[in-house]
Chain A
């Protein structure tokens, strides 16, 4: 059931369009394969990976994770506001999500710039190859996320044909960026 009443009455529903969920599950599996290859390669040269990992700042990783968690929270608020017909509130939450997205983006670029300035590039060693590959592919998904958030903003601004379901679909994509980062953070910054 796709109505607000249906969702309020406890009937089970797919949040957003099912096609987006198929895409999310596919992307999640692709990232699982990247992560698995990373862990396998890491166990083959644990000393090299640990020495290179020591050059990353764990606090920056924590900051980036908190920023993306905040963005997930604000986009979840956006969905609930749109579902209740409060499109002004939904618009404010969509803009807030974009703001958190930009903070993450700026922080990530700053971290890359600092690493490159210290002489750690894609070709430095295998750890940094994985570091740049995983964070860059995640960054690319984040950039696509801004386009997706643009759709949510458009839905909240336009007075004709507003669709809470489309806002849910956009939010589903944005949350995916968040949970993939949670795993990247654990694997690149925390694991030993």
Chain B
């Protein structure tokens, strides 16, 4: 296999793995308050996950080389998912707070 491609795939894998391990740290933050909602941890978990998803789509699925329409459609899905999840969380928490 082309060395440059091999190197790029390894770098992407290492970056995604490092971010995942960082999520382990984020998830363990404030363990004594694990039973309390935490907007900062939730927001960062969702945003980090969406960054990872976009990296997988662009690098492993090679969408960075795809026609602009496919790039835009995948980015649109990531954006819709982000807005939907974060919006649901913050609106839902605001409505459920007495």
Chain A residues with CB under 8 Å of chain B are 7, 10, 12-15, 21, 25, 28-29, 32, 35-36, 39-40, 42-44, 46-47, 50-51, 54, 58-59, 62, 65-66, 69-70, 72-73, 75-77, 79-81, 84, 86, 89, 171-172, 175, 178-179, 182-183, 185-187, 189-192
Residues of A within 8 A of B16 (CB): 69
Interface set of B (CB-CB < 8 Å, partner A): 1-2, 5-6, 9-10, 12-13, 16-17, 20-21, 23-24, 26-28, 34-38, 41-42, 45-46, 48-50, 52-53, 56-57, 59-63, 65-68, 70, 73-74, 77, 80-81, 84-85, 88-89, 91-93, 95-96
Query: Can you offer 22 A-B residue contacts whose CB atoms are under 8 A?
Result: A12-B65, A12-B68, A25-B73, A29-B77, A32-B77, A40-B88, A44-B96, A46-B37, A58-B24, A65-B20, A69-B13, A69-B17, A76-B9, A77-B6, A80-B1, A182-B49, A182-B53, A186-B23, A186-B46, A190-B26, A192-B36, A192-B42
Given the complex of chains A and B, what is the CA–CA distance between A190 and B8 in angstroms? Answer: 28
Distance (whole angstroms) from the CB of B47 to the closest CB of chain A: 9
With contacts A39-B88, A182-B56, A183-B49 known, is A190 near B13, CB below 8 A? no
User: Number of A-B pairs whose CB atoms are under 8 Å?
Assistant: 155
A39 touching B92 in the complex, CB below 8 Å, given contacts A50-B34, A58-B24: yes
The listed residue with most B CB atoms (<10 A of its CB), out of A10, A77, A172, A191, is A191
CA distance A42 to B48 in the complex (A): 20
| A10, A25, A179: residue with the most chain B Cβ atoms closer than 10 Å | A179
A-side contacts of B38, CB under 8 Å = 192
In the complex, how many angstroms separate the beta carbon of B7 from the nearest chain A beta carbon? Answer: 12
In the bound complex, residues from chain B placing their C-beta under 8 Å from that of A172 are: 61
B93 and A46 form a contact (CB under 8 A): yes
A186 touches B81 (CB 8 A): no
Chain B residues with Cβ below 8 Å from A171 are: 61
**How far does the alpha carbon of A165 sit from the alpha carbon of B81 in the complex, in Å?**
29
Report chain B residues within 8 Å CB of A15: 61-63, 65-66
How far is A81 from B95 in the complex, measured between Cα atoms in Å?
52
Task: Tell me which residues across on chain B come within 8 A of A39, comparing CB atoms.
Answer: 85, 88-89, 92
Q: State A25–B73 Cα separation when bound (angstroms).
A: 8
Residue of B with least CB distance to A65: B20
**Chain A, Cβ-Cβ closest to B73:** A25
Contact between A58 and B46, CB atoms less than 8 A apart: no
